[in-house]
Structure 1
Amino acid sequence: MSLTGALYNAFSGLKANSRAAALVSTNISNATTESYGRRELALSAGVAGTHGGVTIKGVIRHSDPVLTADRRLSDANMGAAGDMYTFARRMEDLVGESGTSGSLTDRVTSLENALINAASNPAATQRLENIATTANDLAKSLNKLSDEVQLARQGADATIARHVTSLNEAVVRLDEINDDVVKANSTGGDVSTLLDERQRLIDGISEIVPLRVVARERGEIALFTQGGAVLLDGRPVEVGFEQTPSIGAGMSLSGGQLNGLTLAGLPVNSTESGMFAGGRLGAQFELRDVATVERQAQLDGIARDLIDRLGPGGPDSTLGALDPGLFTDAGIAFDPLNENGIAGRIEINALVAPGSGQSWKLRDGLGAATQGEVGDASLLVAISAALEAQALPGSAALDAVPSSFINQVANFGSDVVGTRVRAENEQTFAISQNTGLKEIELSKGVDTDFELQMLMQIEQLYTANAKVMSTVDQLLERLMSI
């Protein structure tokens, strides 16, 4: 081999060593960075007919597509489970633990105790006022729960809009990266950084909706949801959604008052069986259109049961058939055909509201024109008995089983707790699965011990190439001196 050939070989080796050392440094510094793919220098022997040496063919970015796909699906499941648990936990906190102060069952118990206390001394105005206060507190508790359910629906609707915006922005950026990857590949450039950015974007989208990534020619990718919706294939496809300014009880997607998703301007199925089900976007639709609707229906059923028990035909014989009872629909008589949202409208009758000065009507009847016998507790006892009676609820949202009012409320509270427990278990499983997949993914990523060993080898190769160049330099100097 000539001195020129040896010099060329050593120079190409030094160049490769320098590039390899830079890649090792990058690998180590990003060992715990999510979406980062380990880099490795691709080398080949010099072309035949030349002096030899090594040629840098490019940079290899290592990844496991199957494992990454499983982890992304797990991301979607974990996001959805987290959203469902958050709502279930919020409802449990609002309903309160049975028997604790301020809980829904405590409000019912306080009313029953106030009735019993007043029946023992019906002439005591203070005890009658306590009935009005506890009844008003119970109605307000139902109002608050109903309001919170509708706020949760409104929040879910707004979150859907944010997810759709993030989804569209990420898909547009992925389309731009597709173009950049094609250009870089055509010029022999390093696309590793672009691929890292692409994976980061896809990871972000995968929490919103489960994805399927398909490789295309020249390094491009196509993006589909697990349900089959095309998000990117040659060009981005826009997902559309129009947020509803105000959501009330009774408004629904099927009824046309709420909006669903569109894909390229065409409506698509936005339910749990649709093309966007499975991630946080699907969970928000589940919350807005299913979970909250069921909770509202149960609350409305409880409110209706309370109104029915103490309305016309109940213990107060002074009420006419069309008169509002102790509990009203925003001040008027309740219409069974207008059950939707009654939990948010239920109020104590203004005739006996706290501070009205007419609490004696609780003892003598809402329709009484004048006070009766102050020692007569028969109506108070009858009201208490009506609440304790094993009655069949009029609402289809409650179980068609005869039950007392306190048991209806307790059953509702138990259902809320049970839903929270199931949601928590699902979230725990999703987190455990996701954590395990991420650990496997990281274990197949950058191994810092291995990278340090590589760095030591690079140092040895660098020293050897440098020694060759130094030797060639000495030989050239000797030849020049002859």
Structure 2
Amino acid sequence: MSLSSAINTAQTIFNNTAAQTALVSKNISNVSNADYSRRMAMLGTNGNGAQIVSIQRAQNDALMKQHSISIAQSSAQSTLLTGLETIKSALGGNGYETSPSNYLKLFRDSLQTFASTPGNASVAATTVSSASDLAKSLVKTSASVQDVRYQADKEIDASVKTLNGLLADFEKANYAVQGATASGADASDALDQRDKLLRQISEIVGISTVTRANNDTVIYTSDGTVLFENTPRTVTFQATPGFGATTTGNGIYVDGVPLKAGNGANTSGEGKLASLLQLRDDIAPKFQTQLDEIARGLVTLFQENTTPATTALPGLFTWADGTVPAAGTLVPGMAASLTINPLATANPTLVRDGGFNGPGYSSNTSGSSGYTDLLDSFATALGENMAFDTTTGLDGTSSIMDFASSSIGWLEELRSAASTANDNKTALLSRTQDALSNVTGVSLDEELSQLLDLEQSYKASAKLVSTVDAMMTALLQAVG
């Protein structure tokens, strides 16, 4: 090897070592950055046989796609569980202490106590108070359910705006990747940014991707609607200012195509939008129908009639319409206006005697303070079967006590199954994150080991340079 060749070789080694050291340093500085993929320096030769360093980015497309799916599924399940937990909290938490079912049991106990001491004015007042607590529980729970729908609607609105912003950012990142790929420049930073945006989009809506020439990426929703192709597709949604039992929320549209809601406790939805739709349009409305049927049942069971029978009228329990609804027929929003008859507060003995609608509706015609027939019939009726609307998802024939308990059971079964599914999907997400990190993440130990190898390479190059220098010095001295 000539001295000039040795010097050129040393210079090449110095340049390559510097490039590799800079890359290792960049890797180390991003060791805690979950959105960074490890860079690797690959040595090669050019047409003249000289060694060059090219940069390769660690990636695994299959794991990346699985990771996006896991993010979407976990986000959807977590969103659904959060909504169910909110409804549960409104009912008093684990013991459901403030649920209509619990207040119904307390009211029944008060009726039975009143029936055992019908002449006790204090017990009569307590019974009316229990009835009032029951009515207020239904009103409050109904308001909480509609608030869950309203909050879900607000979150949909915010998420859609975020999604549109992410898609606009993705367009810029995608162009940067295409430009770098086409020019042969390093596209690693742009690819990191694009992958980060894909993960963020996955939290909002389930996606799948297809990569085309020049690393161009097309995004589809999980049900096949184009979300991004060259330019973002517009995602539209109109928020609703308030919710009642008869309010229908607006849909989410991706380029004019409606986004599907999730289904089931182990939700089929991917991304939080699918679960928010499920909460707003399926679960919360279903629970509302159960509350409305409990309210209708109370008005029906405590109705008053004359002898001989005429038009039945509400007795102890009444509502905004002031009528007794048809048997087994749902009245949307009835629970929101349920209340006790104001006369009950002024004269609690009307619960014992009847007559909320005038003397002609009184059952205790003798005015006896020991009269218990009406109280006994109320207590018995609470445990007897009656017809309920089957659209509630519960048994169409049961007692109001069992129906109220079944409503809590329905919610708890749904919440428990959703919690189990959330644990499973969270665990799956963790495993896919670990698998992807093992491929694309930075290992500090490996990078430090690489630095040691580069140090040895630098020392060898420096030794070569010092040797050439010594030889050049000896040559000059010999010539001189």
TM-score of the two chains, using structure 2 as the length reference:
0.89
Residue in structure 2 matched with residue 105 of structure 1 by the alignment = 101
Structure 1 unmatched runs, 5+? 253-257
Give the Å deviation of 1:113.
1.6
Contact 1:76 1:278 in 2 (8 A): yes
Residue in structure 2 matched with residue 207 of structure 1 by the alignment = 203
SS at match of 2:232: coil
Contact 2:65 2:208 in 1 (8 A): yes
Aligned residue runs from structure 1 range 154-165, under 5 A = 154-165=150-161
Deviates more, 1:466-475 or 1:108-117: 466-475
Between the aligned residues of both structures, percent identity stands at 28
Contact 1:227 1:277 in 2 (8 A): no
Contact 2:210 2:218 in 1 (8 A): yes
Give the Å deviation of 1:441.
1.5
Q: 318, 322, 338: which one pairs with 1:332?
A: 322
Give the Å deviation of 1:376.
1.8
Deviates more, 1:423-432 or 1:209-218: 209-218
Residue in structure 1 matched with residue 240 of structure 2 by the alignment = 244
Change (3 A) 1:140 1:279: same
- The amino acid across from 2:171 in the alignment is D
Q: 32, 51, 55: which one pairs with 1:54?
A: 51
CA distance in 2: counterparts of 1:214 and 1:151, whole angstroms = 39
Deviates more, 1:415-424 or 1:451-460: 451-460
CA-based RMSD: 2.5
Residue in structure 2 matched with residue 75 of structure 1 by the alignment = 71
Residue in structure 1 matched with residue 229 of structure 2 by the alignment = 233
CA distance in 2: counterparts of 1:12 and 1:312, whole angstroms = 101
Aligned residue runs from structure 1 range 361-440, under 5 A = 361-365=350-354, 366-369=356-359, 372-393=367-388, 396-397=391-392, 399-440=394-435
Residue in structure 2 matched with residue 285 of structure 1 by the alignment = 277
Contact 2:99 2:141 in 1 (8 A): no
Contact 1:61 1:192 in 2 (8 A): yes
Give the Å deviation of 1:74.
0.8
Deviations along 1:151-177, whole A, 9 cap, x unmatched? 111111111112211111111111111
Residue in structure 2 matched with residue 130 of structure 1 by the alignment = 126
Change (3 A) 1:339 1:401: closer
CA distance in 2: counterparts of 1:391 and 1:378, whole angstroms = 20
Q: Does residue 458 in structure 1 map to residue 454 in structure 2?
A: yes
Q: 92, 97, 102: which one pairs with 2:88?
A: 92
Give the Å deviation of 1:472.
2.7
Structure 2 unmatched runs, 5+? none
Give the Å deviation of 1:97.
7.0
SS at match of 1:42: strand
Q: 167, 184, 191: which one pairs with 2:187?
A: 191
CA distance in 2: counterparts of 1:147 and 1:25, whole angstroms = 57
Aligned residue runs from structure 1 range 8-87, under 5 A = 8-48=8-48, 52-56=49-53, 58-87=54-83
Q: Does residue 263 in structure 1 map to residue 254 in structure 2?
A: yes
Residue in structure 1 matched with residue 341 of structure 2 by the alignment = 349
Contact 2:290 2:407 in 1 (8 A): yes
- The amino acid across from 1:344 in the alignment is A
Residue in structure 2 matched with residue 255 of structure 1 by the alignment = none
- The amino acid across from 2:399 in the alignment is S
CA distance in 2: counterparts of 1:184 and 1:298, whole angstroms = 59
Residue in structure 2 matched with residue 360 of structure 1 by the alignment = 349
CA distance in 1: counterparts of 2:196 and 2:307, whole angstroms = 70
CA distance in 1: counterparts of 2:475 and 2:336, whole angstroms = 101
SS at match of 1:471: helix
CA distance in 2: counterparts of 1:97 and 1:220, whole angstroms = 50
Give the Å deviation of 1:422.
0.6
Deviates more, 1:209-218 or 1:466-475: 466-475
Give the Å deviation of 1:307.
1.4
TM-score of the two chains, using structure 1 as the length reference:
0.89
